[in-house]
Structures are given as structure tokens and as C-alpha cells.
Amino acid sequence: MSSYGKSSQKLWGILRRKERWSLSWRGRLIVTSVGLVTAYLVFLNVHPFLAVTHRVNANILVVEGWMQRYAIRKGAEEFKAGSYERIFTTGGPENGGGGYINDYQTSASAGADGLKKSGIPDDLVQMVPSRVIGRDRTYSSAVALRDWLHEHNMPVHSINVLTEDAHARRTRLLYQKAFGKSVVVGIISVSNPDYNPRHWWRYSDGVREVIGESIAYVYARFFFYPSKSSHERTAVGTSQDNTNQ
């Protein structure tokens, strides 16, 4: 009869010895090998996962204004090549400005100027600045755009957002959180020319971007819970005032 599961006691039951299973050296070798293979596959595929491109059928293109000039130019090329009717730029106060001063000292304004210099007609470019600086800037930019569209009575069913490299998947997630399920959000990633995305770990820029965006995406995906926008707060306040009257 097997002794597995049996236990012995000493010192009036204070100490107990019980048989248990544990990994043998073969088991530890298999577990370690599986872990290493998994880590290797994640390592190879993390950049393509983050720098996703998935266009949807949309007549509105959104360009994040904080991007470098090469990405703004790609935004102009995307607009000209697609069937878009309007192009919007988003972004908050520029870095180093000490906070919000006015709409023309924001990334949205800088992005709009870059698009116009790249040949996009002025009347097709609309900047939608955010006044938020610091944390949750991408989400705040998405909320500012959503509220602007609502305030100008522009119903939207789908948009494409153009952003830089590994920032893409997080951008799509945060814009989807801001716009909700009623709007389909497509995403376009512009590759960073400063490093080869297939060998990102060989470049300091690639390491910083991929590791930083990996951490930021995990935070946005599992720990970020958006607060109500100013429009939603106003709507709730109006509803409560009407109820109290």
C-alpha cells in the first residue's frame, strides 16, 4: 500500500511530516526550457505587437501632434492617399512650456502647422488641443477630440489615428476607451527611422521605446480606469439639476 498522502506527527501534533510531490531535475529542465522559449518568442514579437497598424474605413484621420517631423509628413501622405475628408491634430502643452498657456503653444498646433507645410489645405486641418500636461496625455487628447466632435455636432462612426512606432497599440486602446464601443478606432504606426524595428534591442532608442511602451501598455490595459470627461460631468450635473427642479 502506497504511503503517499500519509503524514506522521510528533510533539503531540505540533510538528507534522507529510509527503509531497516536487519537480525532478528533468521536470525543472522542461519548465526552464519552456520559459526560455516563451521569453524568446515574446522578445522577438513585442515590437510588432506594439507597433500595430490596422486601418478601418474612415473619412477622418487623427494625427498626434507631438510626433517628430518625419511622422507628421507621413500623416500628410496618409491623408492624400486615403479617402479622408478631414484631418485632426491632437496634443497638449508642449514639453518645457511649464503648462498650458494657449492653444497655439500645444502639440496639436505644432502638428497642424507641420501638416500645412506638407501640402494639406488649411481648411481641411483642424487642431484640437488638450490642456492636460503630465500623466494620461494620450487619453486626455482623445477625450478633447471626442468632446470637440460632440460640441460641433459631427457624428463619427470610425476614425484612423496615426501615431509613432511602438506607441500605436496603447494609443488605439486609449482612444477606444475615450470614444467607447460606438466608434471604431483604426491605428496606423509610423516606423521610427532611428532604429531597425527587427533588431530594436541593438539601439538605445529602440530599447527605451519598446521597454517604456511595454510597461505603459500594461498599465493602460490593466490598471488605467478613465475618469469622466468635462462633457460627461456637465451632462450629469445638468441631469441632476433638472431632477432637483
Instruction: Please tell me the distance from the alpha carbon of residue 151 to that of residue 177, in angstroms, as a whole number.
Output: 19
Residue 95 falls inside a structural domain: yes
Residue 16 falls inside a structural domain: no
Residue 22 falls inside a structural domain: no
CATH code assigned at 212: 3.40.50.620
Give the model's pLDDT for residue 11. 66
Q: Residue 143 is part of which domain span?
A: 52-228
User: Please, is 39 exposed, middle or buried when counting C-beta atoms within 10 Å of its C-beta (0-12, 13-18, 19+)?
Assistant: exposed
**Do the beta carbons of residue 188 and residue 168 sit within 8 Å?**
yes
Domain count, the chain: 1
- For the segment 56-109, what is each residue's pLDDT rounded down to a tens digit? 999 999 999 999 999 999 999 999 999 999 999 999 998 766 678 889 999 999
Mean pLDDT of the chain: 87
Residue 12 falls inside a structural domain: no
**Element spanning 160, H or E:** strand 158-164
Instruction: Please tell me the distance from the alpha carbon of residue 171 to that of residue 177, in angstroms, as a whole number.
Output: 10
- For the segment 137-188, what is each residue's pLDDT rounded down to a tens digit? 999 999 999 999 999 999 999 999 999 999 999 999 999 999 999 999 999 9
Give the model's pLDDT for residue 40. 83
Residue 107 falls inside a structural domain: yes
pLDDT category of residue 227 using cuts at 50, 70 and 90: low
Residue 89 falls inside a structural domain: yes
* pTM strictly above 0.75: yes
Residue 169 falls inside a structural domain: yes
Report the C-alpha dihedral over residues 98, 100, 101, 107, rounded to 10 degrees: 100
Residue 134 falls inside a structural domain: yes
